[in-house]
A = this chain, B = another copy of it.
């Protein structure tokens, strides 16, 4: 329920207005004026080292968090201990939307590498978005986008086979990384096979075997967590493989 690790808050260094993630993050589409108003809310940062949790299920909800640097996973768990990774978040993406409904977080957020997040006090954000329709709009779109994304994951989990799931996963990751200026064909996975498996509804052995299969087929080059996509078209075809 409570966070054991010490929470490191850092003094304000960079404002939204001068943040290079502003086109990917909450300020997207806002005017310079409007972003400056956002700056007044987002006054603190927090560092989370690899393996630490940003928040846990049941924690009191007060703020959203925008990933500034690093990489996170979120996961929910059943009473019996089984857990399910519900998403991976990279720079510019928001964490904590699950907490709004009950004022308690409904999942765990864990840093997969040393990370920093911007702390966005939610009540202040709601207040400001009552005054800035454009900000309100952005917030609604972000929440809606999360809903749409989740529905896509349901489709994946409910009706795709292992190869299709992994192919879809890789295409999604590279696409998001590309938006952030990284290569479309090379990536370093920040998560284990087990975490990928949990997200995709597969066991880690199946993930590993599927990577190997893609490598044998010349679609990927796999060296542990370093992945190179050799044939993106093939990956796309795998995803769209018509029902058997």
Residues of B contacting A81 in the complex (Cβ-Cβ under 8 angstroms): 242-243
Chain B residues in 8 Å Cβ range of A101? 141-142, 144-145, 147-148
Number of copies: 2
With A100-B141, A107-B151 as contacts: A130 and B131 at CB distance below 8 Å: yes
**Cα distance, A131 to B240, chains bound together (Å):** 45
> Total interface residues on A, using CB and 8 Å?
53
What chain B residues lie within 8 Å of A121 (beta carbons)?
none
Compute how far the CA of A36 lies from the CA of B81 in the bound complex, rounded to whole angstroms: 46
A 69-112 binary contact with B (CB < 8 Å = 1; else 0): 00000001111111110100000000001111110001100000
Q: Chain A's interface: helix, strand, loop or mixed, by majority?
A: helix
Contacts of A159 in B (CB 8 A): 78, 82-84, 198, 201
Interface residues of A in 186-224 (CB under 8 A from B): 198-201
Does B98 contact A147, Cβ atoms closer than 8 Å?
yes
Segment of A15-23, A132-140, A225-233 in the binding face:
A132-140
By the criterion CB–CB under 8 Å, are A86 and B240 in contact?
no
